[in-house]
Amino acid sequence: MNRFDYIIIGAGSAGCVLAKRLTESGKDRVLLLEAGGSDRSPLIQVPLGYGLTYADPKYNWMYMAEPDPAMNHRALYWPRGKVLGGSSSLNAMVYMRGQEGDFDDWRDAGNPGWAWDDVLPYFKKSEDHCWGASEHHGAGGELHVSDFADQVHPLCERFLKAGDALGFQRTADFNGPTKEGFGLWQMTIRKGLRESTAKTFLRSAMKRANLTVITHAMVRRVVIEGHRATGVECLIDGVLQSFGAAKEVIVSAGAVNSPQLLQVSGIGDAAHLRQHGVPVLHHLPRVGQGLQDHLAVSYFFKSKVPTLNNTLGPWYGKLWAGLRYAWDRKGPLGMSVNQAGAFVRSRPELARPNLHLYFNPISYTAGSAPIGKRFQLQNPDPFAAFLISFNTCRPTSRGSVLIQSPDPLAKPRIQTNFLTTEHDRQDIMDGSRMLRRIAATAPLAEVISEEHLPGAQVQSEEAIFADFGQRAGSVYHASCTCAMGPDPMGSVVDARLRVHGIAGLRVIDASVFPAVTSGNTNAPTIMVAEKGADMVLQDNR
């Protein structure tokens, strides 16, 4: 058996950060195992390429959730990264930490050390912000964060001015002192190229002699001996191999694969494990429970002025965008289509924002539908249009990720349970009204010819919910399936991310969130990895 000090399972948003930090001393031998392959493809490095990797099984687990009653019994598509960098190699690159209260809530749930003031230094540690170091931002870190105010589509300013007209404040920095209001997104892009954690953290660490990275390595189970994790078994090129861990095994496989791996290793709800023929090594009933995600719907508006549809729809527009990108790595291919948005309170009595809004100067109602078992986001609509989306910031509905087989290669059952609380249903109505208020406000209203979807005929509460159930989908912010907390019967890991009842085993990724953050989850996942790495090193001194 090959022995290492640490074994990290999953080279995603968290795993790449851990590999970098745990090898910095040069003393510890670290093994990083990734089920996917290389991230060198231009589809990953060119920012707008995520419209193609969205449906490519070479880079994507391409999960499907179970049919959900709230979604008109539809089975929603759940893309997850299966490549170096994980979902940070496939996402829309928006850098968003979340509201300060999100992390104070984590602390108040029984997790000391996770309040906003505790986690801000870890956000700053990894950051290389284009504006330089400040009270709110870091400089010189691995992850470059860019401002695209000079490149966004002109329609974004109309969206922002509509917010002004409605009395909402404008913020220049959603990650700065004012996290509420209308503004432009910052993105993890450097000089026109995606800043995944594979590129920013792992690439330099791979030059170190004490780091071993193995791709196309499918971990079958964590080896547990006497309530201690001692190693892993995995398939590499069809051959079963074993690796030992002298100090710790760290599971960083994401909100779907981390709970799945624990369960097939014998850690989970005892009755469920026995039902599927898995020997029970440790009864931990919350493994795979508590799943949270952001659920969004888009309203599409036909435009009287050109949008990115006019640019990226025709063949000659694609050619122009390609030539522009080749010239200076700018233009539509060099950034995300998620360009502007807002965090707002739909009701004045709320203590903090409950709605996360997105403005994209493009529409793709025809290209986002399923084609067999494949999905595509490749071609915009053949007419000028744009979209505004919303999701509730802090949903209270909870789902689960549970194995259906002892075979780790079999996909788990993802049960979303969307809109099972009155809180979430209220936000759906508020969000629909908010989008239409914005669209009806000048100067944005001046360029709208009609509401394309869902259409002006959809007005009643019943009709709005029916449309939401037919068209809404995941924003791909899966989290909370191995949540941290003080009670082994109510959580999976403690505040130091150690699996309750199993020595030498941690989970460090978005699955440990006690509750999903208000915004995009990539930046908080990187923060969790930074803080988790410090905990690992402190506890093993």
pLDDT in tens, the chain (541 residues): 599 999 999 999 999 999 999 999 999 999 999 999 999 999 999 998 888 888 899 999 999 999 999 999 999 999 999 999 999 999 999 999 999 999 999 999 999 999 999 999 999 999 999 999 999 999 999 999 999 999 999 999 999 999 999 999 999 999 999 999 999 999 999 999 999 999 999 999 999 999 999 999 999 999 999 999 999 999 998 899 999 999 999 999 999 999 999 999 999 999 999 999 999 999 999 999 999 999 999 999 999 999 999 999 998 998 999 999 999 999 999 999 999 999 999 999 999 999 999 999 999 885 444 433 444 456 899 999 999 999 999 999 999 999 999 999 999 999 999 999 999 999 999 999 999 999 999 999 999 999 999 999 999 999 999 999 999 999 999 999 999 999 999 999 999 999 999 999 999 999 999 999 999 999 999 999 999 999 999 999 8
Distance CA 454, CA 435 (A): 12
193 φψ region: left (φ > 0), alpha (ψ -120 to 50), beta (else): beta
- DSSP letter for 411, please: P
- pLDDT of amino acid 50: 86
Q: CA triplet 504, 507, 513: central angle to 5 degrees?
A: 145
Nearest CA to 338 out of 408, 291, 389 is that of: 389
Distance CA 92, CA 133 (A): 24
Distance CA 30, CA 48 (A): 33
- pLDDT of amino acid 175: 97
Q: CA triplet 310, 312, 317: central angle to 5 degrees?
A: 85
CB-based burial label for 26 (10 Å; 0-12, 13-18, 19+): exposed
Q: Taking the CA atoms of the chain, what radius of gyration do you get in angstroms?
A: 22
The amino acid that residue 64 corresponds to is: M
| Cα→Cα distances 169→16, 158, 164, Å | 37, 15, 6
Q: What is the pTM of this model?
A: 0.97
CA–chain centroid gap for 217, Å, is 23
- pLDDT of amino acid 378: 62
- pLDDT of amino acid 290: 98
Distance CA 249, CA 386 (A): 46
Number of Cβ atoms within 10 Å of the Cβ of 451: 18
CA–chain centroid gap for 6, Å, is 25
CA–chain centroid gap for 422, Å, is 25
Distance CA 80, CA 350 (A): 33
Can you point out the beta strands (E) in 289-447? 289-291, 295-303, 340-344, 355-360, 370-371, 374-375, 385-392, 399-402, 413-415
Quick: pLDDT tens for 493-503: 999 999 999 99
Cross-strand bridge partners of residue 300? 387, 453
Residues 6+ apart with CB under 8 A from 522: 13, 87, 88, 91, 94, 95, 188
239 φψ region: left (φ > 0), alpha (ψ -120 to 50), beta (else): beta
Instruction: Name the residues annotated as catalytic.
Output: 477
| Cα→Cα distances 34→37, 212, 216, 218, 261, Å | 7, 11, 6, 7, 13
- pLDDT of amino acid 10: 98
Report the b/e string of 305-323 with b at 16+ CB within 10 A: eebbbbbbbeeebeeebee
The amino acid that residue 271 corresponds to is: A
Classify the C-alpha dihedral 7-198-91-370 as positive or negative: negative
Residues 6+ apart with CB under 8 A from 375: 54, 55, 77, 79, 368, 369
Q: Cβ(124)–Cβ(131) under 8 Å?
A: no
Residues 6+ apart with CB under 8 A from 244: 1, 2, 3, 4, 223, 230, 231
Give one DSSP letter per residue of 161-174, joined into a string.
HHHHHTT--B-S-T
Nearest CA to 506 out of 313, 317, 251 is that of: 251
- pLDDT of amino acid 1: 54
